[in-house]
């Protein structure tokens, strides 16, 4: 399996084929639909012999076209093996020094279904059917798949979104303003936040949308707060910077690792709470009481605050660009009686200021694109004894780990966590020690 949605085969001339919905050990006939110089993309025309790795009964019947679960056709234990191999291969390709370090098996889930505590669906009004649909995009296309049942998310989300689509379809307003629907729930699934991401619109439309949100909360009292998020930008960034709370207090309450957390529309919180807890347990041993920590890309402070619950008197500085996340982090400090200093700024703009600080450890949890050279250079100059790099993209992780070697950081431990079963994505924690 590639680190992507394809299985890899080779033609007799050595040219790589990336085949959709294929599984290692399948025997099949294929048709190339995108032929390039060194590789080609292909689809299966006939499956001649089924691999023993194949899942004979995937829970989702549209997984072959939906772009979310690229690996649901593979048995779950085999998915974990392929993800480990992806990590190993990417580290080797980047020439990361691992010496005799053994890459352990991924830490998976005992029950890898209904784990997503958050869903964001693109929405679209289809003129031909005069209906609002919502779901995921078909792989490598702009075609939206109307999802009615998704087995990887909390099941209550399916019911809410179906009713919401009906109400939006029936209402009289310009439906082209609809962009996304966001739902997030706490672990107990007794509080849900619902937000519509829309383009700017007139007052009449706003009244209509607020009426619909009110109606949904009447049908589903589990929804404790609703909001409208406004985004006019023509980019792939989903959330805009302006959010209007329609009902409730604008957040849901979560209890995570003995922490009381408030999570709002714009805040980042890991979508798989059970696996995220395993990451916290894994890194806990790296800290001692009174350690000074830089929590980069800190979000609502979940990682550093969870560690502060386990270790005494940690000195925490966190930095995050999303203003609402910093507000939530500060509120979470007060709620849990923890002292920490959270800064709202872009990490690239602020990281040079941390060079004079004497950190025992830097925790860095960047977006998929990884870290810029400026950030990595300043991590080298900060020169903390340890760096804990948490990554959702093993490709950029491998690149950044190789870069940090020039500052004498080497991998002490590395562990993959399957945060995203049935997709090719996974989370990796690399613990780096300064030599």
Q: List residues with catalytic annotation.
A: 392
Q: Which segments of 208-357 are extended strands (E)?
A: 223-230, 242-247, 251-256, 259-264, 292-296, 315-320, 341-344
Task: Please report how many Cα atoms fall inside a 13 Å half-sphere around the Cα of residue 357, on the Cβ side.
Answer: 19
Angle among Cα 427, 432, 433 to the nearest 5 degrees reads 160
Scored b (16 or more CB within 10 A) or e, 254-284 reads: bebbebebbbbbbbbbbbbbebbebbbebbe
Instruction: Name the β-bridge partners of 252.
Output: 263
Tokens at residue 397, please? 């992780």
Q: Is 379:407 a contact under the CB 8 Å cutoff?
A: yes
Q: Categorise residue 21: left if φ over 0, alpha if ψ from -120 to 50, beta otherwise.
A: left
Four-CA torsion 261, 267, 271, 277, nearest 10 degrees = -40
- For residues 92 and 90, give the distance between their C-alpha atoms in angstroms, rounded to a whole number: 5
Tokens at residue 327, please? 């507000």
Q: Categorise residue 302: left if φ over 0, alpha if ψ from -120 to 50, beta otherwise.
A: alpha
Residue 414: other Cβ atoms inside 10 A: 23
Q: Is 106 helix (H, G, I), strand (E, B) or coil?
A: coil
């Amino acid at each position: 399996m590639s680190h992507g949605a394809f299985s890899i085969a080779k033609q007799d001339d050595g040219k790589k084929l990336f085949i959709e919905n294929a599984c290692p050990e399948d025997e099949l006939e294929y048709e190339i639909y995108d032929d390039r110089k060194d590789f080609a993309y292909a689809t299966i025309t006939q499956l001649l012999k089924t691999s023993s790795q194949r899942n004979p009964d995937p829970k989702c019947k549209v997984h072959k076209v939906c772009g979310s679960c690229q690996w649901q056709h593979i048995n779950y234990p085999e998915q974990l093996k392929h993800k480990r191999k992806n990590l190993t291969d990417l580290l080797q390709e980047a020439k990361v020094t691992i010496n005799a370090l053994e890459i352990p098996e991924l830490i998976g889930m005992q029950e890898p279904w209904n784990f997503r505590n958050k869903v964001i669906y693109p929405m679209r009004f289809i003129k031909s059917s005069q209906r609002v649909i919502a779901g995921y995009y078909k792989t490598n296309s702009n075609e939206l798949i109307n999802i009615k049942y998704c087995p990887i998310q909390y099941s209550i989300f399916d019911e809410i979104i179906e009713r919401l689509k009906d109400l939006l379809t029936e209402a009289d307003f310009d439906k082209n303003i609809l962009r996304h629907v966001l739902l997030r729930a706490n672990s107990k699934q007794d509080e849900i936040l619902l937000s519509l991401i829309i383009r700017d619109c007139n007052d009449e439309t706003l009244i209509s949308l607020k009426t619909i949100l009110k109606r949904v909360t009447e049908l589903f009292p589990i929804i404790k707060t609703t909001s409208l998020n406004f985004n006019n930008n023509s980019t792939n960034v989903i959330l805009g910077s302006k959010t209007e709370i329609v009902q409730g207090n604008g957040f849901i309450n979560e209890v995570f690792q003995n922490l009381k957390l408030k999570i709002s529309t714009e805040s980042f919180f890991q979508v798989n709470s059970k696996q995220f807890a395993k990451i916290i347990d894994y890194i806990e041993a790296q800290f001692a009481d009174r350690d000074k920590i830089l929590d980069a890309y800190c979000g609502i402070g979940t990682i550093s605050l969870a560690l502060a619950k386990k270790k005494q008197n940690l000195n925490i500085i966190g930095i995050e660009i999303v203003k609402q996340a910093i507000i939530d982090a500060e509120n979470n400090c007060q709620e849990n009686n923890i002292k920490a200093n959270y800064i709202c700024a872009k990490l690239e703009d602020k990281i040079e200021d941390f060079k004079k600080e004497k950190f025992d450890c830097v925790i860095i949890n960047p977006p998929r694109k990884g870290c810029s050279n400026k950030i990595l250079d300043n991590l080298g100059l900060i020169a903390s004894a340890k760096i804990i790099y948490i990554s959702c993209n093993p490709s950029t992780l491998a690149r950044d780990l190789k870069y940090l070697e020039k500052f004498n950081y080497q991998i002490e431990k590395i562990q993959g966590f399957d945060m995203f079963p049935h997709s090719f994505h996974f989370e990796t924690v690399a613990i780096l020690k300064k030599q």
